[in-house]
Amino acid sequence: MVLGLITTKDVFYFLLIIFMFLSFTLFKLKGEKESKPWSAKALRYITVIVVSLLLGYITSRPALVGYWDTTAHKENTIDPRIQNMLKQMGNEPLEVTLYTNLLGAHAGPGLPEGRNPYLDALWEPYLRFKPDITFKYVYYYDYDGALDNNNLYKTYPNKTEKEVAGIMADLLGTDVSMFMGPDEIHKIINPAAERAQLFMAVKYKGRVVHLRTFDDDEFWPNQSEVAAGLKQLIKGDNPKVYYLTGNLERSIYKTGEREYEFLTTAQRVREALVNNGFDQDTLSLENHDIPADISELVIADPKTDLSPKTLGKVQQYINNGGNLLIIGEPGKQAMLNPVLKPLGVQLRSGTLVELSKNETPDKIQPYATDDAFDLGDIRVLHQLKQERKEKNFDDTLPIMMPGAAAIAYAANGPFKVTPLYTTVKQRDWLKAGRLVIDSVPPVFSPQEGDIKDSTFATVVQLTRQLNHKQQRIIVCGDADFLSNIRYDSFHTVLYSWLDYGKYPVYINAPYYHDNKLTITEPTAAFERIFLYGYCLVC
């Protein structure tokens, strides 16, 4: 109620509490005047308690609870798109199983004493629109030392897995007998597939998706992750993203600072594609053909030349209308230009240079174009675009690119080419040859082949109509801005646009309009000066 959501179960709860204690008071006062056996007096109290508990149970059943969201933007109500998904499920059962590993991370919220917070914090908003969701709980202990370098056995040396489970159960104040052992749980699930951590398996019509918990303050999956899971259960149309391998490309399974795991396959990163509806895998075209169910192919910074066989399969995929994300780096333009040439696009030789006070000259900051704000249905992007239009400035939504190649494209090529990120006018230049970043700042030298255009494109989108659909390709002149140390939730829109916006399911936060505080900027500035002066005088 404090948060603005009034429910009939809460109203009945307060009424029943009042009823109970008024009844107890009446029984006490009346009992002082009566001469009745203690059993008769006790029966009154027991009757009131039983009636109150029974009514409390009945009125808290999900199907019987009424809701009134009194907030202006219905903040306590799930997004209408999720409501529609739950409605589409009809009377078919939706089953949620919470798997709690005593020896895994975050076991506490999954224990029996955490059930009410778990149901209230996570599932109450969904039960409002689908009250027949059933909940199951599986408790087990299983430890895989490969996940944390055997830290648990180092903490408790000379202890067996079962003995360690007993110690952890004591620490958490629970009974170890309620947890099934490794042999039993491995007949049901493979805990290592979820890094032995707390997760939920959601089942509907034979399909199963996993909802995960995360290493952040929010912990439980939010509406975006739940919506992606429900959509997969209903439609079963997970986009399949394949990453080309075989030429030393960036890896989606490594945590190094240059790799791509955090944005792609990291199960404990909320923004990762794996938690937002995407299926991902690697693919070597030397040994396999491109699968028919592919949604988009990613070529991420190959460091050796693509073989004629691989190049031929990629070209055939493009000719057939496949969507593609191509990511390059300065110094390796030759690896990707054979793929890009038929598209009318090329990575230009050299490295972009941007002089600044605090950064090395290879770190440039291009800014989003208007078209970049339309990649995904995200309210914050729409607001930034409107703000840019109103204030008439270009430097909105910058990204850091540590080492970038400029992109050249033909105006009359087979694709319509649209820049998504460009450098600020007259600020950067293209350095020919090797760029030295740990010495004195480089100097623009046309004699050495340096080029200074008005602006340079670093990310472009390509579109054309083919096979009764729009073919979509994105080309990036830098591979590091998507890496583990520089990824951002905004970068998922690149993958989303290539999949025609099916995933992720963007849940936009409400836009708040203050209709009470009407002070203008000039008035605020005057008050600021006045109050500063008043404080100094005092």
Residue with tokens 């938690």: 275
Is 493 within 8 Å of 376 (Cβ atoms)? Answer: yes
The SS3 assignment for 225 reads helix
CB 340 within 8 Å of CB 422: no
Half-sphere exposure of 303 (CA within 13 A, CB side): 5
Residue 511: what pLDDT?
A: 64
Instruction: At 141, list the tokens.
Output: 């202990």
Residue 228, Cβ neighbours under 10 Å: how many? Answer: 24
Q: Does the pLDDT at position 292 exceed 80?
A: yes
Q: What is the per-residue pLDDT for 333?
A: 95
Kindly report the length of the chain: 538
What are the tokens at 380? 């914050």
Are 198 and 213 within 8 A, CB to CB? yes
Q: Global pTM?
A: 0.86
Q: What pairs with residue 408 in β-bridges?
A: 346
Which one-letter amino acid corresponds to residue 500?
A: Y
User: 450 with 366: CB under 8 angstroms?
Assistant: no
What would the pLDDT profile of 527-538 be if each residue is shown by its tens digit? 888 888 888 887
Residue whose structure tokens are 């500035």: 525
- pLDDT tops 90 at residue 407: yes
Q: What is the pLDDT averaged over residues 196-218?
A: 94
User: Taking the C-alpha atoms of 45, 49, 50 and 55 in order, what is their torsion angle to the nearest 10 degrees?
Assistant: 140
The CA distance from 442 to 354, in Å, is 9
At 10 the pLDDT is 93
Q: What is the pLDDT of residue 538?
A: 74
Q: Provide the residue type at 242 as one letter.
A: Y
List of E strands, 450-490: 457-466, 469-476
Percentage of the chain lying above the pLDDT 90 cut: 72
Which of 95-109, 141-155, 349-363, 389-403 shows the lowest mean pLDDT across its residues?
389-403
Q: Considering the chain, what is the average pLDDT of its residues? A: 91
**Interacting residues of 198 by C-beta distance below 8 A, sequence separation 6+:** 98, 99, 100, 101, 104, 105, 106, 107, 109, 110, 213
CA atoms within 13 Å, Cβ hemisphere of 446: 2
> What is the average pLDDT across 246-258?
95
Q: Which pLDDT band holds residue 179 (cuts at 50, 70, 90)?
A: very high
- Decide if pLDDT at 308 tops 70: yes
> Where along the chain do its domains lie?
5-68, 78-234, 240-498
Residue bearing tokens 């290539």? 498
- Residue range 458-487: mean pLDDT, rounded: 94
Q: Assign domain 240-498 to a CATH class.
A: alpha beta
Whether the CB-CB separation of 56 and 48 falls below 8 Å is answered with no
- Residue 180: which region, alpha, beta or left (left: phi > 0; alpha: psi -120 to 50)? beta
pLDDT average, residue stretch 22-27: 93
Which tokens sit at 532?
């500063």
Q: Give yes or no for a contact between 267 and 306, defined as CB atoms under 8 angstroms apart.
A: no
Neighbours of 459 (CB within 10 A): 25
CA distances from residue 395 to 391, 399, 453 in whole angstroms, order as listed = 11, 10, 18
- Model pLDDT for residues 154-170, shown as the tens digit of each residue: 999 999 999 999 999 99
Asked whether the predicted pLDDT for residue 386 surpasses 70, the reply is yes
Whether the CB-CB separation of 83 and 129 falls below 8 Å is answered with yes
| Residue 437: strand, helix, or coil | coil
Looking at residue 148, its pLDDT comes to 86
**What does the block give as tokens for 230?**
């429900």
Query: Is a pLDDT exceeding 70 seen at residue 14?
Result: yes
Residue the block writes with tokens 């090395």: 360
- Secondary structure class of 281 (helix, strand, coil): strand
Burial class (CB within 10 angstroms; exposed 0-12, middle 13-18, buried 19+) of 520 = exposed
Q: 3-class DSSP state for residue 230?
A: helix
Instruction: State the pLDDT at residue 439.
Output: 85
What pLDDT does 513 receive? 67
358-362, 367-371, 390-394, 491-495: least confidently modelled range: 390-394
Q: How many CB atoms lie within 10 A of CB 340?
A: 20
pLDDT at 282: 96
Residue type, 67: Y
- pLDDT single digits (tens) 135-153: 999 999 999 988 888 899 9
Rounded Cα distance, 464 and 416, in Å:
6
